[in-house]
Amino acid sequence: MPNGVSYLSEIVSALSELGGMGSLREITERIKNRGLLASIHSNKNWRNNVRAVIQRHCSQTQSYRGAEDLFYSVYGLGEGYWGLRSMQNTDIDIADAVNPIIQREIGEINESTSLDITEKEMIIKARVGQGLFRDRIIQKYKMCVVTGIDDARLLTASHIKPWRSSNNAERLSSENGLLLSPLYDRLFDNGLITFDNRLNIIISKEISEYNKGKIVREVHMRNFTMSAEMKINLDYHRDVIFKG
């Protein structure tokens, strides 16, 4: 192993090559392809060591004990996407055009040999709540589930389990979406609100008391019957995305 090469240095190098952020899978694949760590050939569990080193150097995790704070969780600790703090974009809503994770995911879809052109287009459009996914969500709800606004021009089809974490069927499923006005879509997408299985709003402790008072708590859709599939997706949002 070359002098100065360690798990930490290889993680930093991998994330730099990935544009500053990537999934754990992408990070370990980069390290494997570089082939500089001796343990990738001798230790079948070396990927677990990569995860452990990231967590020890990320102040958001329970494993952090004051080491140099080099990494951050891009979407939340349960999502498995990590970023390099020195390359962090602090915009809460990084545009797809400059988000390397989204661009690589879209590239993988475009290169897929198991999907035809129409399927690829539908899945990519669903990333931003458009196309078939949007049509299905509008048909299902007719209005914002919180405010009752029913002008489709003012509403967003929002994934419950995020597009990045869903399989292709989930990305297009009406059981994985809510129809929300832009404020509530943004709050939901960033884990600042979530919903229980009766569609009651749960507000994150990260929202100030003043702003909590401005958020509608009584949702418009009171008699909604929720499917088992949708409950699973909401469980995921509450457990992984929501910043309780």
Per-residue confidence band for 3, with pLDDT thresholds at 50, 70 and 90: low
164 and 212 part of one domain: yes
153 and 82 part of one domain: no
Per the prediction, the chain carries an average pLDDT of 90
Residue 173 lies in a domain: yes
Residue 110 lies in a domain: no
If we measure between CA atoms, which residue out of 51, 49, 53, 90 comes closest to residue 68?
A: 53
d(CA 105, CA 96): 11
Scored b (16 or more CB within 10 A) or e, 146-176 reads bbebeeeeebbbbbbbbbbbbebebbbbbbb
192 and 131 part of one domain: yes
203 and 138 part of one domain: yes
Per-residue confidence band for 39, with pLDDT thresholds at 50, 70 and 90: confident
- State the DSSP H helix or E strand holding residue 221, giving kind and residue range, or none if neither: none
Residue 102 lies in a domain: no
Residue 72 has pLDDT above 90, yes or no: yes
Residue 1 lies in a domain: no
Residue 182 lies in a domain: yes
pLDDT in tens, 138-192: 999 999 999 999 999 999 999 999 998 999 999 999 999 999 999 999 999 999 9
80 and 155 part of one domain: no
Residue 100 lies in a domain: no
pLDDT in tens, 130-145: 999 999 999 999 999 9
The last residue of a domain, from among 88, 117, 139: 88
136 and 64 part of one domain: no
Note down the domain range covering 226: 125-241
135 and 72 part of one domain: no
Residue keyed to tokens 């699973």: 232
Per-residue confidence band for 77, with pLDDT thresholds at 50, 70 and 90: confident
If we measure between CA atoms, which residue out of 235, 154, 142 comes closest to residue 195?
A: 235
d(CA 195, CA 184): 11
- 34 or 94, which is more confident: 34
Catalogue the E-assigned strands of the chain.
Answer: 21-23, 71-73, 81-84, 156-159, 177-180, 193-195, 201-203
pLDDT in tens, 100-112: 888 899 999 999 9
Residue 203 lies in a domain: yes
133 and 229 part of one domain: yes
Domain count of the fold of the chain: 2
Neighbours of 112 (CB within 10 A): 13
236 and 132 part of one domain: yes
Residue 2 has pLDDT above 80, yes or no: no
Residue 164 lies in a domain: yes
Kindly report the pTM of this predicted structure: 0.80
